[in-house]
Amino acid sequence: MKRYCHTVQYYETDRMGITHHSNYIRWMEEARIDYLAQIGWPYAKMEEMGVSSPVRRVECKYKHSTTFADTVYIDVSVAEFKGVVLRLNYRMEKADGSLVCEAYSEHCFLDAGGKILRVDQAYPALYAALNEDK
């Protein structure tokens, strides 16, 4: 799987020149969307099928700060998925290899009516793609 790459933008930093902590959550979202596209399930395709995947939980452990123009590489992997709740792990590193953040997010899947989907039953190909990585 290709790593997601993000360059810290000036507007993502605070008055001290450090990346504001809320941006790491946004980067996780960017990396998750990229990950889904890489496994053949772009989010736009899922939305066309009437499927959404809201965040249920997120946790970040910040290890090292970043600043404007730093390159951050994000590795995404499936920690657990049994058909209803998807847990993704994220590892963020600067270009020099220093660990920036370790995090995870949990997601469920909803149909167009807002009801929870059992992806293993409703979309077995998506379920298989998400479990290939484990």
* pLDDT band at residue 1 under the 50/70/90 scheme: confident
Report in angstroms the alpha-carbon separations of 102 from 77, 105, 110. Answer: 12, 11, 27
- What is the model's pTM? 0.94
* pLDDT band at residue 28 under the 50/70/90 scheme: very high
pLDDT at residue 97 is higher than 80: yes
Supply the mean pLDDT for the chain: 96
At 126, which amino acid appears? L
pLDDT computed for residue 108 by the predictor: 97
pLDDT at residue 133 is higher than 80: no
Q: Which of 14, 70, 75, 96 is catalytic?
A: 14
pLDDT tens per residue across span 44-73: 999 999 999 999 999 999 999 999 999 999
* pLDDT band at residue 26 under the 50/70/90 scheme: very high
The percent of residues in the chain predicted with pLDDT above 90, rounded, is 97
SS3 51: coil
- Residue 82 has φ and ψ, to the nearest 5°, of -115, 15
What residue ranges define each of the domains in the chain, with the CATH number in brackets? 4-132 (3.10.129.10)
63 with 110: CB under 8 angstroms? no
**Active-site annotation holds for 34:** no
How buried is 86 (Cβ within 10 angstroms: 0-12 exposed, 13-18 middle, 19+ buried)?
buried
* pLDDT band at residue 134 under the 50/70/90 scheme: low
